[in-house]
Amino acid sequence: MIDSHCHFDFAPFSEDPAHYLALARQAGVNKLVIPSVGVRNWQAVRQLATEQDGVYFALGLHPFFSADHTVAAERQLAAELEAESLLRAKNRSHCVAVGECGLDFAIAEVDRDQQLTLLSSQLRLANHYGLPVILHCRKAYPELLRLLKQIPPVAGGVYHAFSGSLEQARQMIDLGLKIGVGGTITYERAKKTRAAIAQLPLSALLLETDAPDMPVAGFQGQPNRPDRLVAVMDALVTLRSEPREEIEKVITLTTAELFHIPH
């Protein structure tokens, strides 16, 4: 299985990445994608992907940290993606996406225009380099949808940490995006999200932990970990009609194809 969204450069993983990767592999999670949050961690995520097997990364400017992103950061992102595209031509890049990017109108000091501008430029960069996008969205769904219709992601992408309605998921899928299924579905009370995930086409789903965030049911208060992707898979199996092997096979293939990860 592939954890399509894991902040593996954060604590506690940063203290002993090999240990946490071994735990993940024992659980059957042998690949992961690390999204970045801004200039400050691009080097760390790249280094992890270089040093550890089965680790891939994305470069982006996370809306939660909008206040940190200077105008220069946008130019730097373009330069980094250009450098990665040259490596990709030689099959030596582990950069598989642009992200995480998106809109977060739930944070205290929101500059909506800045966030919209930053997201637009990241959508254009992703299209220019033929990379998928990893999207984050909180309290900004209508604005996100509008922008995605203006600048459709040509190489697709994922709407990460999905916790919306069936209609929203379908709108995202119509735009060529996948739905990131995380720990939310391990909670019985997440009725709307669980019902939506049960009805969507299997080929539209990716699995993710968002570790160390989004703890799965039963582990609240602890940092989440990539090996707990299994708990998300277990919950998904109970919601779906397909057998477990098929769910695992289809989702792993979908994830590998989206990010052009060898499988």
Q: Establish whether 263 is an annotated binding residue.
A: no
Cβ–Cβ contacts within 10 Å for residue 243, how many?
A: 10
* CA dihedral for 74, 8, 148, 187, sign (positive or negative): negative
Q: Establish whether 210 is an annotated binding residue.
A: yes
DSSP 103: E
d(CA 96, CA 9): 16
Q: Establish whether 245 is an annotated binding residue.
A: no
d(CA 164, CA 153): 20
d(CA 131, CA 157): 8
d(CA 34, CA 121): 21
**Burial classification of residue 140, based on how many CB atoms lie within 10 Å of its CB (0-12 exposed, 13-18 middle, 19 or more buried):** buried
Q: Residue 262: what are its φ and ψ, rounded to 5°? A: -60, 140
Give, in order, the Cα–Cα distances in Å from 196 to each of 23, 43, 191, 236, 254.
31, 37, 9, 11, 19
Q: Establish whether 160 is an annotated binding residue.
A: yes
- Packing angle of the helix pair 244-259, 229-239 (nearest 10 deg): 120
| For the chain, counts of helices (H) and of strands (E) | 9, 8
Residues annotated as binding site for a divalent metal cation? 5, 7, 100, 136, 160, 210
Residues annotated as binding site? 5, 7, 100, 136, 160, 210
